[in-house]
Amino acid sequence: MILTVTLNTALDITYHVRALRPHTTHRVTDVVERPGGKGVNVARVLAALGHEVTVTGFAGGGTGRTVRDGLTATPRVTDALVPVTGATRRTVAVVDERSGDTTQLNEPGPTISPAEWRAFQEAYEDLLRPASAVALCGSLPPGVPVGAYAGLVRTARAANVPVLLDTSGEPLRRGIAARPDIVKPNADELAELTGSHDPLRATQDARRRGARAVVASLGPDGLLALTPEGRWRTSLPTPLRGNPSGAGDAAVAGLLSALTEHLPWPARLTRATALSAAAVHAATAGEFEWPTYEELLDRVAVTADATAA
Amino acid sequence: MILTVTLNTALDITYHVRALRPHTTHRVTDVVERPGGKGVNVARVLAALGHEVTVTGFAGGGTGRTVRDGLTATPRVTDALVPVTGATRRTVAVVDERSGDTTQLNEPGPTISPAEWRAFQEAYEDLLRPASAVALCGSLPPGVPVGAYAGLVRTARAANVPVLLDTSGEPLRRGIAARPDIVKPNADELAELTGSHDPLRATQDARRRGARAVVASLGPDGLLALTPEGRWRTSLPTPLRGNPSGAGDAAVAGLLSALTEHLPWPARLTRATALSAAAVHAATAGEFEWPTYEELLDRVAVTADATAA
């Protein structure tokens, strides 16, 4: 079983409107809702790849019940969210059918009490025992201490469970110092962490801060990985057009999936790159297309770099 | 007990954002949610005035549970919503804090099955027995026949319960022919019904179509009422600034409240006008301010017109 942690789960709602005009009233023509938050998206991709996945984090209120119902209805996904008093946040994506552009409205999320945070940490320790890997994903809701991920990384390492961290800002800075097995920042997150806009230099700096491996997702420039086994870059023959939201989560799922199958790093990076591109190509944000994924597996170029990281 | 019917109940959500910019991502700074739909708003005002109110209509899904929890928490309001498979719709009001303007996104609502519509009609007949008056409010969700209100008006009349109808378009056209005691169209609804943009002419036409009394809400021009007891106009010395959404629902509550207290028409219209203006003046759409209401009660002018309607 692979465990994913999403402390700030969400009910992701997508509205289609004919044309978004501020300060007017719109009839929504199409409503889609599904469980969201980065770790939940990672879990969905892992389950689609055939893995058993357990989802933990927090859920509360009517929105939390809807998230849990959605997870329960997903094959190979087990809901282990910890109940809280506050309501799970909503994110609303308003798609303008005329232009195709999306306007995003993100609620901040419920405030987690100290008792709820303690209850989560206990549940997390129990869930780690049967886990073959764990991913810690996304932002922290109000009330959770900024050093939360550092503690969760240490608990995973003490339990001998490989741990991947995918977050940003101060939670990333603190979490990386606790020596996670993998961090997967994007270019913006790397620059914020290290102050450098040079991807190679920033990735090297991130690794020196404590991560055993750093896999930087550089959008159309593919992945840059600095690992104990070596240094690689991945690329695709032609960049794919589409919606980049969810590409990072698909990459995380690819890394974890291949890690639990004990594949060497180049194979892990191939899978992550193909999944990421297949997610960009998908019609729905956060999904990925199987045919695109399988086709791309043969087309990903992984270039080794002899220079030690 | 006063009964209010809201076939298309809603979970009304209000978001505050610093400034709404289409095609960008917004962090919502403040989230407020509450049960909505016109009949629910009417019930809230009636309960604030001290009446026992029962709310019926449909509720389903996670949003429906949140609506029911909200109603249960409101003093003097009884939840008698009929459960349905589909999820209660959301309405999202996005308030731009910079300009104060609101952008509205309204979901269409769940499709009601024939069996659910039959279950509602049975529940409605039972709820009418202890009712002193009933208000039929708002739009019809998909699946409910367009002649729904005509049937509900006839059932109320057969049960000798005074019935007020507040809807628009074809449901109003059909409903008014079933001879409700009161209809409360606004200027746009009257024009759509009668083809006339002259309020007096349109109100007379509406009355000829079957309503015993027509109370037209004309925004800052007050109310125009054609009743079996006579014809009146109401006005305020100075128009109030504010949010007009909810003013019509407050007027309906005022009319019903005074009707069940057996007040004569001029007193009913005074109460409806004062409540309506107090709702416009309130900080939150759909609420009303007690001090404004009490102060305005003495300042509403009701002008009788000797001409028979």
CA distance A3 to A80: 10
Is the Cβ pair A106, B27 closer than 8 Å?
yes
- B27: chain A residues, CB-CB within 8 Å: 106, 108
What secondary structure, in 3-state letters, does B184-245 show?
A: CCEHHHHHHHHCCCCHHHHHHHHHHCCCCEEEEECHHHCEEEEECCEEEEEECCCCCCCCCC
Enter the ipTM: 0.84
Is the Cβ pair B105, A65 closer than 8 Å?
no
Residue B133, H or E segment: strand B133-137
**Number of helical (H) and strand (E) elements in chain A, helices listed first:** 10, 16
Q: For testing the chain A interface, which of B25, B32, B34, B71 should be mutated: the one with the most A CBs within 10 Å?
A: B25
CA distance A156 to A164: 10
pLDDT in tens, A83-114: 999 999 999 999 999 988 899 999 999 999 99
Topology (CATH level 3) of domain B1-144: UDP-N-acetylmuramoyl-L-alanine:D-glutamate ligase (3.40.1190)
Contacts 24+ apart (CB under 8 A), B168-176: B168/B139, B168/B192, B170/B146, B171/B139, B171/B140, B171/B146, B171/B147, B173/B209, B174/B146, B174/B147, B174/B149, B174/B150, B175/B136, B175/B149, B175/B150, B176/B206, B176/B209, B176/B210, B176/B211
CA separation, residue A155 to residues A175, A206, B47 (Å): 12, 21, 53
Q: If 0-12 CB within 10 Å is exposed, 13-18 middle and 19+ buried, where does residue A195 land? A: exposed
pLDDT at site A281? 77
- A63: chain B residues, CB-CB within 8 Å: 62
CA distance B107 to B90: 6
Q: What band does A308 get if pLDDT is binned at 50, 70 and 90?
A: very low
Residues 6+ apart with CB under 8 A from B291: none
Is the Cβ pair A23, B99 closer than 8 Å?
yes
CA distance B259 to B42: 14
- Select the residue of B23, B28, B107 nearest A103 (Cβ to Cβ): B23
CA distance B224 to B226: 7
- Select the residue of A26, A69, A99 nearest B106 (Cβ to Cβ): A26
Is the Cβ pair A108, B24 closer than 8 Å?
no
Q: Where are the domains of chain A?
A: 2-10+35-91+109-305
Is the Cβ pair A105, B99 closer than 8 Å?
no
- A22: chain B residues, CB-CB within 8 Å: 20, 22, 96, 101, 103
Chain A: closest CA distance from residue B140 (Å)? 14
For residue B298, the tally of other CB atoms under 10 A from its CB is 8
Quick check: A133 and A166 in contact, CB under 8 A? no
Catalytic annotation present for B12: no
Q: In angstroms, how far is the first alpha carbon of chain A from the final one?
A: 31
Mean pLDDT of A266-277: 95
- β-pairing, A182-183 with A213-217? parallel
Question: Do you know the residue count of chain B?
Answer: 309
pLDDT at site B287? 77
Mean pLDDT in order along chain B per 10 residues (309 residues):
97 95 93 94 96 98 94 97 97 92 93 98 98 97 96 98 97 97 96 94 96 94 94 87 82 97 96 92 74 91 73
Is the Cβ pair B15, A105 closer than 8 Å?
yes
Tokens of A18: 């004919």
Chain A: closest CA distance from residue B280 (Å)? 18
- B63: chain A residues, CB-CB within 8 Å: 62
- A27: chain B residues, CB-CB within 8 Å: 106, 108
- A92: chain B residues, CB-CB within 8 Å: 92, 105
Q: Identify the residue whose tokens are 């009929």.
A: B82
Quick check: A120 and A60 in contact, CB under 8 A? no
Q: At what angle do helices B148-158 and B169-176 cross, to 10 degrees?
A: 30
Chain A: closest CA distance from residue B22 (Å)? 5
- B102: chain A residues, CB-CB within 8 Å: 23
Is the Cβ pair B29, A108 closer than 8 Å?
yes
Is the Cβ pair A106, B22 closer than 8 Å?
no
Chain B: closest CA distance from residue A53 (Å)? 25
CA distance A203 to A201: 5
Buried/exposed code over A203-232 (b: 16+ C-beta within 10 A; e: otherwise):
bbbbbebebebbbbbbeeebbbbbbeebbb
CA distance A226 to A239: 23
* Partners of residue A250 on adjacent β-strands: none
CA distance A246 to A254: 12
Query: Smallest Cα–Cα separation from B152: which of B124, B188, B112?
Result: B124
- β-pairing, A53-59 with B182-183? unpaired
| Catalytic residue (one of B12, B205, B249, B298) | B249
Q: If 0-12 CB within 10 Å is exposed, 13-18 middle and 19+ buried, where does residue B105 land? A: buried
In eight-state DSSP terms, residue B88 is P
Residue B45, H or E segment: helix B38-48
CA separation, residue A80 to residues A56, A108, A293, B38, B204 (Å): 5, 22, 29, 39, 63
Is the Cβ pair B107, A66 closer than 8 Å?
no
Percent of chain B with pLDDT over 90: 86
Is the Cβ pair A28, B101 closer than 8 Å?
no
Residue A125, H or E segment: helix A114-128
3 state SS of A244: coil
- Work out how many CB contacts closer than 8 A connect A with B: 82
| Catalytic residue (one of A221, A249, A298, A305) | A249
- Select the residue of B63, B101, B107 nearest A22 (Cβ to Cβ): B101
Is the Cβ pair A25, B101 closer than 8 Å?
no
pLDDT in tens, B250-303: 999 999 999 999 999 999 999 999 999 998 877 666 678 888 899 999 999 999
Q: Chain B residues contacting A, CB < 8 Å? A: 13, 15, 17, 20-29, 31, 61-63, 65-66, 69, 90, 92, 94, 96, 99, 101-108
Point out the least confidently predicted range of A38-42, A43-47, B77-81, B237-241. Answer: B237-241
Query: What string of DSSP letters covers B281-297?
Result: HSSSTT---HHHHHHHH
CA distance B178 to B209: 9
Query: Smallest Cα–Cα separation from B25: which of A98, A101, A171, A197?
Result: A101
Rounded mean pLDDT of chain A?
A: 93
Q: For testing the chain A interface, which of B14, B15, B17, B23 should be mutated: the one with the most A CBs within 10 Å?
A: B23
CA distance A262 to A201: 28
Give residue A128's identity as a one-letter amino acid code. Answer: L
pLDDT at site A286? 63
3 state SS of B1: coil
- B94: chain A residues, CB-CB within 8 Å: 105
Question: Do you know the residue count of chain A?
Answer: 309
Quick check: B55 and B81 in contact, CB under 8 A? yes
CA distance B231 to B253: 20
The backbone torsions φ and ψ at residue A165, rounded to the nearest 5 degrees and listed phi first, read -115, 125
Q: For testing the chain A interface, which of B65, B92, B188, B243 should be mutated: the one with the most A CBs within 10 Å?
A: B92
3 state SS of B108: coil
Query: Smallest Cα–Cα separation from B285: which of B94, B151, B124?
Result: B94
pLDDT at site A289? 83
Tokens of B51: 């009446």
- Select the residue of B69, B101, B108 nearest A23 (Cβ to Cβ): B101
- B105: chain A residues, CB-CB within 8 Å: 15, 17, 26, 28, 92, 94
CATH of A2-10+35-91+109-305, one of 1.20.1440.120, 3.40.1190.20, 3.30.420.40, 2.40.30.20: 3.40.1190.20
- Select the residue of A21, A99, A105 nearest B28 (Cβ to Cβ): A105
